[in-house]
Chains A and B, each alone.
Chain A
Amino acid sequence: MAQKKRPIKLKELTAQRKKERILQNPPRELTGDLNIDLSLLDKLLHRSADIVIREFTLSAGEGIGVGLVYADALVDKQVIDQDIMQPLMHLARLSHLDQILTKDNAFQYVEEHLLTIGEIRITNKLDAILGGVLYGDTAILLDGSSFAILANTKGWSMRTPSEPNVEAVVRGPREGFTETLIVNLGLIRRRLKDPDLSVEIMEIGKRSKTSISLLYVADLASPELIRRLRQRLKNISIDGIVDSGYIEQLIEDSTISPFPQILSTERPDKVVANLLEGRAAILVDGTPFALIAPAVWAQFFHSPEDYYERSHIATFIRLIRLLAMTFSLTLPAIYIAFTSFHPEMLPTTLALAIAAARSRVPFSLFLETLIMETMVEVLREASVRLPGPIGPTIGIVGGLVLGDAAVGAGIVSPLTVIVVAITAIGSFASPSYSGAISFRILRYPLMFLAATFGFYGIIIGLILIVIHVASLHSLGVPYLAPYAPFHLEGQKDAILRLPWPYFWQRPTEIRPQDTERMPRPRGKNKVGGKPDHEGQ
């Protein structure tokens, strides 16, 4: 390799050969030769620019070489400087050694007396070292030792917990999940100081090696549920997990359904409440959305706030939400069906008003509604993508100005604008974004059916939706529980939201090990009983 020829000693030559041979054919474990090991790691990491490899000598003992390997962007440099470099380079010399450090005992001494870091791991596997370094650990290698110390020096820049954007509440905690798994785990632990809260960490994604944690309360969640969930997570074989949405679609029961069968939330309080009901949560590193399974359809129109506010208003708002979601699903279809198929159902004056308004409109009612619905979707998409302050402006310009101008120009009738606007607003009233999506998308087939068969078509569409939804399961739990299979106790927290003292029983459809969350009220010994559930 060298340009100038110089005499090489035989020993150096064999060392050089050995190194080349090892680099050609990388082993799975460390060799124990610092020089070779560092070159090996450097090669395996493709000499990436953000990986720092630092070599120095231990200040005590017979000049033992030390190598540090860490990823520049993922570590807290202050920790490395103060708790690794300083002890090894400086303090080691000052400590009162009762023995001389040699290559044989240095490793143990460093580990036991010098490193002032809480979490360390010792390994000789190259895979583990690479995984650690790429997750913010610092690998400490000592010459003559075939083991490395992985010190936890994670310290990348992260977002602090901020108010949830999508699931805003008037009353309730203001904290939302962040992109960092460990912070999110902290947010949950802080609310649930139960030693039985079990956190299983696993790594999914052959390349992304994303940390995923499965959370459940060990003596609440049904073991069958946890076993099933764990199995589904283990069955995932994919190169990378970028967001919890990947996991959701990889483990849910029916992926072709428009209805989400797993709840996603950015609110730690919601996760804790669900854990306490015997459900399981999945946190994925790098995403502020936690997954909750199993989920039933009723949960998609429940908001955490329902449980914090007084029960009357919560029940009322749930009814309002149901109404809004029904509007967002059926209103355009009903409008089309009534106006073009069954005008006799409308009061005469209203029918005349519609006819008069539509007399200038050149399109068929179906086309008119379809165009407007599509425009609203375009508008919505545009205002979501635009940066903060501009988004609402577009909404106003698009909604008010365009709508008004379209009516003025005689392209659409005012009633269509009203219908489309109510539909759009209705779909925003759902507390769960993914729950609203299914209704938003099913609106279009319903409009087609209404335009073909009128009211009869709408009913056909709704029947098909009911058949589909009734056949769905979320990890073995019927999606329509507690309505079908009907469960009386479950009705307390379905459309109704009774005051908290009535919630002495956990939802039984998810089969928690302990069904009571507060002492059974007197006189309730037989009535609640074992629910009449379908077999699995």
Chain B
Amino acid sequence: MKDSRKNQITSLQAAAIVASSIIGVGILTLPREVAAAAGTDGPLATLLGGGIAALLLLLLTKLGLRFPRHSLMEYSNMILGAILGRLLSLLFLVYWFLLTAILVRTFGEMVITAILPNTPLEIIIGIMLLLGAQLAAQDIKVFARIHEILLPLTIIPLLFLFLNSINAINPLHLLPILAFGPWPLIKGALATGLSFLGIESVLMLLPYYSKPQEAVKSHLYGILIPIVLYFTIVTMGLGTFGDTALQYLQWPALEQIRLAALPSMPSVFERLESIFIGIWVVVLFTSTGSLYLMVILGIRQLLGLKQQKRNRFYHYILTIPLFFLARLPQNVIAVETYARVISQAGIVLVIVGPGLLYLMALIRQKRGEEG
């Protein structure tokens, strides 16, 4: 089993997986959350938040590199012992599970509000879950390839769409900077933290890298992409709407795309939100697929199941509990609340869990064998 793990993910693919696992729902809500927390310091706060996330990613990578052929589920047992280790793994698993459900639900809410008002929510959710399951059911190397090819196909049009509204920016909306001291900046940086969740995917995927020694470099490249994207989105949103208006928009990014017509060819497409949502579907698909794979890998390794052949049937069974879980919240407000609680718990888990593991590994001098 150990040998089948090697050489599945190239360094470039690792960067792509990091980037596309991070970018998800955040695109839509980030400007509002940052504006609420940091006001006009939003863009700076985003950069700061990205920097913190990059440092955290570095910690996760270091931890993973101590055990280059094991995943979180395995080395937590080795470091913390069978019971505590299992408990930590289980916490991660539950977190990923809940996050998948809430991610899909948020997606469903937006699709229904924005483009398909008459379609039942269940269908949108169900299809997305099945797509995610389909992605997770592929071999790890195929999974990596799909991320690799979809990332440029989504990021470049996204950046283009957002930069498209550059004419709508009022520079005065971006000022003042740091007028209220460092606190709004720090609060804003913490608020962006939610959007940088997804970096924990490296905990599960590191053992599959073909060149673990390049992991640090490729992870940093990987997280640079969401930082640039988020910075653009926040700056554009803030510049267009101003920090006060931005706080009251449900999905500021969508509103912004709605505002902007293509200046170069206004007579071809008038409103680009359908294209944006199309790309956003792909973005969400990659994050859902990543999370789904985490859950699958987690369950498999926690239960000690052997890896089976392609198109494993039981991967699709998991969509059923996820489906009902995603239907649970009553309305958009409830979805937002649940999402916030889960993400905040996630942040704590991602910081405390690996931090603890790394510390214990240092103290107890545990180290996995080299690949």
Interface residue range, chain B: 35 or more
Q: Which residues from chain B contact A466 at a C-beta distance below 8 Å?
A: 146, 149-150
A535 within 8 A of B: yes
Given contacts A464-B131, A480-B149, A484-B145, contact A347 B266 (CB under 8 A): yes
Q: Would you call the interface of chain A mostly helix, strand, loop, or mixed?
A: helix
How far, in Å, is B258 (CB) from chain A's closest CB?
A: 10
A455-B278, A459-B278, A459-B281 given; A485·B115 CB < 8 A: no
Neighbouring A residues of B141 by C-beta, 8 Å: 534
Q: Is A100 in the interface zone, CB < 8 Å from B?
A: no
Bound CA–CA A471/B269 (angstroms): 34
A466-B146, A485-B148 known; A346 vs B138 contact (CB < 8 Å)? no
Give the contacts of B162-200 with A (CB-CB under 8 A): none
The residue that B270 contacts in the complex, of A348, A470, A532, A533, with Cβ under 8 A, is A348
Within the complex, which residue of B115, B273, B310 is in contact with A456, where a contact is CB–CB below 8 Å? B115
**What are the residues of chain A within 8 A of B12 when measuring CB–CB?**
485-486, 532
Does chain A have a CB within 8 A of B264? no
Indicate if the CB atoms of B148 and A484 lie closer than 8 Å: yes
Q: Which of B256-272 contact A (CB under 8 A)?
A: 266-272
B8 at the interface (CB under 8 A from A): yes
Do residues A467 and B138 form an inter-chain contact, with CB atoms below 8 A? yes
| In the complex, residue of chain B having the shortest beta-carbon distance to the beta carbon of A472 | B142
Q: Which of A347, A470, A486 contacts B142 (CB 8 A)?
A: A470
Chain B residues 136-166 with CB under 8 Å of chain A are: 138-139, 141-142, 144-146, 148-150
Q: B116 touching A453 by the CB < 8 A rule?
A: yes
A342 at interface (Cβ–Cβ under 8 A)? yes
User: Which chain A positions have C-beta within 8 A of B268?
Assistant: 347
Interface: A512 (CB within 8 A): no
Select A345's contact among B149, B271, B285, beta carbons within 8 Å: B271
Interface size on A, residues (CB 8 A): 33
Q: Please indicate the chain B residues that have their CB under 8 angstroms from the CB of A345 in the complex.
A: 269-275
Contact in complex: B210, A532 (CB < 8 Å): yes
Within 8 A of B (CB), among A313-355: 338, 341-342, 344-350
Q: Mark B72-84, 1 if CB is under 8 A from A, else 0.
A: 0000000000000
Contacts of B290 in A (CB 8 A): none
Which residue on B lies nearest to A473, using beta carbons? B142
A471 to B143, CA, bound (A): 8
Residues of chain A with a CB closer than 8 A to B9's CB? 534
Q: A279-300: which residues lie under 8 A (CB-CB) from chain B?
A: none
CB-defined contacts of A350 to chain B, threshold 8 Å: 267
Q: Is the CB of A535 within 8 A of B8?
A: yes
Chain B residues, Cβ within 8 Å of A444: none
A490 located at the interface, meaning its Cβ lies under 8 Å from any Cβ of chain B in the complex: no
Contact B7 A467 (CB under 8 A): no
Are A470 and B127 in contact, with the CB atoms below 8 A?
no
In Å, the complex CA distance between A107 and B273 comes to 88
> In the assembled complex, which residues on chain B have CB atoms less than 8 Å from the CB atom of A342?
115, 274
B103 within 8 A of A: no
- Distance, CA A338 to CA B270, complexed state (A): 12
Say yes or no: is A460 at the interface (Cβ < 8 Å to chain B): yes
Q: Are A455 and B277 in contact, CB atoms less than 8 angstroms apart?
A: yes
Given the complex, which residues of B lie within 8 Å of A344, measured CB to CB? Answer: 270-271
Give the shortest distance, in Å, between B259 (CB) and chain A (any CB): 14
A463 within 8 A of B: yes
Nearest-neighbour CB distance to chain A for B262, whole angstroms, equals 11
CB distance from A339 to the nearest CB of B (A): 12
**Which 5 A-B residue pairs are closest in the complex by CB-CB distance?**
A535-B7, A484-B145, A484-B149, A484-B148, A471-B142
- Please list 27 pairs of residues, one from A and one from B, whose beta carbons are closer than 8 Å in the complex, sorted by A's number: A338-B274, A346-B269, A347-B268, A347-B270, A350-B267, A455-B275, A456-B111, A456-B115, A456-B277, A459-B282, A463-B281, A463-B282, A466-B150, A470-B146, A471-B139, A478-B145, A483-B148, A484-B146, A485-B10, A485-B13, A486-B10, A486-B13, A532-B11, A532-B12, A534-B7, A534-B141, A534-B210
Q: Known pairs A456-B115, A484-B148, A484-B149; list 4 more (Cβ under 8 Å).
A: A341-B116, A453-B127, A463-B281, A485-B145
